[in-house]
Amino acid sequence: MYKPLRIGFIGAGNMAFGIAKGMLSGNVLPVNIKVSAPSSRNMKRFQEVGISVTHSNAEVVCGSDVVFVAVKPHLVRLVLSEISQYVTKKHIVVSVAAGVTLSVLEELLPENSIVIRLMPNLPCLVQEGALLFTRGANAKQEHGDVLRSLLHCCGLVEEGPEAWIDIHTGLSGSGVAFVYLFAEALAEGAVKMGMPSSLAHSIASQTVLGAGRLLRDSGKHPAQLRSEVCTPGGTTIYGLHTLEQGGLRASVMSAVESATERARELGSK
């Protein structure tokens, strides 16, 4: 008889909650998830969806098949040194800590541990996340398949080499905030021109959502969709000209670069 996987989260922040919520929208039951954190500050939202909580990291590891280490990068060494004695060769340890490399994770865990490095993003909360993972030396294809099966309801799940993980952090992990800034600016532009703030923000959010879905579902290159919106001498090309004058394209590229480099710096500390 099939035995459901037991899932554990060490850390109760937004990433842990987003991933857990995505799992619950699939075939994972709340009874099979347990979360630990040193304080009770973020525990309530997990309890509200039926997930049990504890302050013991050891309890989570011992009662789980797959353990997500979802703590801040600077806490990873402390947490792994605490739980390493409880990690067995049957565990799949998944780290979502930005910048912390597989080599560091494997060094801090028992020899031959199965380790996967994962970078999700906040839209996992609404099952529209973009997640990229890479397998450690002892993680086989089957372990990657297990992770995919757990995360498929969180959004887009892809696998790639570790060199891409920090880039994904800059592109999609941090990129979410870049999109929010752009949406805020769109709305403020409308407010400047006389539209009520609440309506402007509502329309801006729907515009970002609609544009994103069309981009994803059409399969077209962004430049092609952009050109389809432009008519000769129309409003859009005038607006785009202003954006180009302001260096939007270069600024966004530089923002992704800066966020990627920062992720790499976090990993080297």
Binding site for NADPH: what residues are annotated?
Answer: 57
Q: How far apart are CA 188 and CA 196, in angstroms?
A: 10
Strands (E), 96-177: 114-119, 129-135, 155-159
Instruction: List the one residue out of 230, 219, 130, 204 whose CA is nearest residue 172.
Output: 130
Binding residues: 10-15, 57, 70-73
Query: What does the block give as tokens for 38?
Result: 């040193």
Contact 27, 2 (CB under 8 A): no
For residue 34, the Cα-to-chain-centroid distance in whole angstroms is 20
* Residue 158 Rama label (left phi>0; alpha psi -120 to 50; beta): beta
Q: How far apart are CA 27 and CA 165, in angstroms?
A: 27
Q: How far apart are CA 226 and CA 251, in angstroms?
A: 18
CB atoms inside a 10 Å sphere around CB 165: 25
Q: Report CA-CA distances (Å) from 169 to 55, 60, 175, 214, 222.
A: 29, 27, 8, 23, 21
Instruction: Please give the radius of gyration of the chain, using alpha carbons only, rounded to the nearest integer.
Output: 21
Binding residues for NADP(+): 10-15, 70-73
Q: How far apart are CA 247 and CA 125, in angstroms?
A: 32
